[in-house]
Amino acid sequence: MKAVNFAIAIALALIAAAASADQFEKKFSRTFDYRGGRVSVENSFGGINVRTGAGNNVTVRATIRSSDAALGREIRIETSEGPGISVKTVMPKINVRGSLSFSIDYDVVVPAEAPVLLSNHFGSIDATGLHAASELVNRQGSIALRDSRGAQRLENSFGSIVVEHAEGNVDAKNTNGSITATNIDGRLSAQNRFGSIAINGVKGDVAATNSNGGVEIHDVGGSAAIVNGFGTTRFGRIGRNLAVTSSNGRIEGSGVGGTATLTGNFDAIEIKDVGGATRIANGNGAVTVADVRGNLSVETRFGPVRADRIRGSLNVVNGNGSVTAAGIAGDAKVRASFGSVFLRDVDGAVDVQNQNGAISVAALRGSCNPVVLHTSFSSIKVAVPRNVGYNVEARTTFGSINAEVPINAMHRSEGTLTGTINGGGCRMELVNSNGSVTIAGE
């Protein structure tokens, strides 16, 4: 990496215009009659500025600057026609002695419908108003594309990529620099390695892949697929489905119109306001979910799980952490160990299998649904609603069974209770290995 940084520093020094009064400067200007084909501009050291104009002419203006006059005179610009128009910087062999600086800056005007290929090595690329499928490729410098139409491809190595107001599909690929895209009417694909990705306002689908940097995506009309390595992933207002995979970074966001599938590791996952079924898998981190209009499935280890206002069923598997859930419209099924389970306001059946953690269930809202609670080395407490009948079977070892509501006991001993509440009807099975069991009223 040090060698690369040194090379960049040398390149920037060469691009910089000399401040001395005796700086060499040479102008280039040529106008072409555009007859179709691609307009290609290839530069080595300096900026490329391309914009669209009226008519069918391609106008190329360039300024060559150098702190050494002999070198400046040897820098050439070659052009060719048919098919298309090609413009290329030709550099002489350079023997650097002492301080030396030079640059070749282009200002190009093309017809709006002309496809363009812009290629640069050390310097910026700035394009405005391209209406045909084009490519912008750079190595060391920024790329900016504004007010485009048609399919656009951008590729950079060391520098930022900025895309604004694109009426077409955009494919942006970077290696060591940020990617920023706003107001894209088509689909967007963004790939990066060492730098952030920031996307805001895409009417189509979004596919974003990053290795070492944050990803932030908002206001997507279609679906969004995100793959991240080491960095935080944030999202908001995704029109359709969302899929996120992150190896080592936080995942957080809200506002998904369709389904959501989130896979993380070694950090927290937080999501709310999802329009469809949601599936979450986390390796070692907390999971927080709220306002899901569908079923919710969560699997994690070494972190707490909290779920609120789920309009479908709930299925949670937690290896080493607590589970807290409230406002479940369907069934609630929990498998946990080494953490407490707290459930409240469940409309459907409740099935909790825990190890080494307490279970507390309250505010059961369904008319008649089974309740099955198993744990060990901690307590079980369930609050039964009024006017709902249960057939109760409670067992424990090395603990007590406490009934705070009237029970018609059929069999009762120190560690066993079998009977009915409110005449019976719904199944209630409470099993503990080393702890108390309490049946309370609402």
State residue 413's pLDDT score: 85
**Least confident stretch, 15-24, 147-156, 246-255:** 15-24
| pLDDT single digits (tens) 379-433 | 999 999 988 999 999 999 989 999 999 999 998 888 899 999 999 999 999 999 9
Is residue 189 a contact partner of residue 207, using CB atoms and an 8 Å limit? Answer: yes
CB 343 within 8 A of CB 353: no
Tokens 């290929």 correspond to what residue? 117
**Four-CA torsion 272, 274, 280, 283, nearest 10 degrees:** -30
- Residue 82 pLDDT level (bands cut at 50, 70, 90): confident
Average pLDDT of the residues in 330-344: 97
For residue 98, the model assigns a pLDDT of: 63
The pTM of this model reads 0.89
- CB distance 111 to 130 below 8 Å: no
Q: How far separated are the first and last CA of the chain, in Å rounded?
A: 66
- What are residue 438's phi and psi, to 5 degrees? -125, 130
d(CA 306, CA 268) in angstroms, rounded, equals 12
Please say whether the beta carbons of 340 and 321 come within 8 A.
no
Q: Give the three-class secondary structure for 6.
A: helix
**pLDDT above 60 (res 9):** no
Q: What is the dihedral of CA 291, 295, 299, 302, to 10 degrees?
A: 30
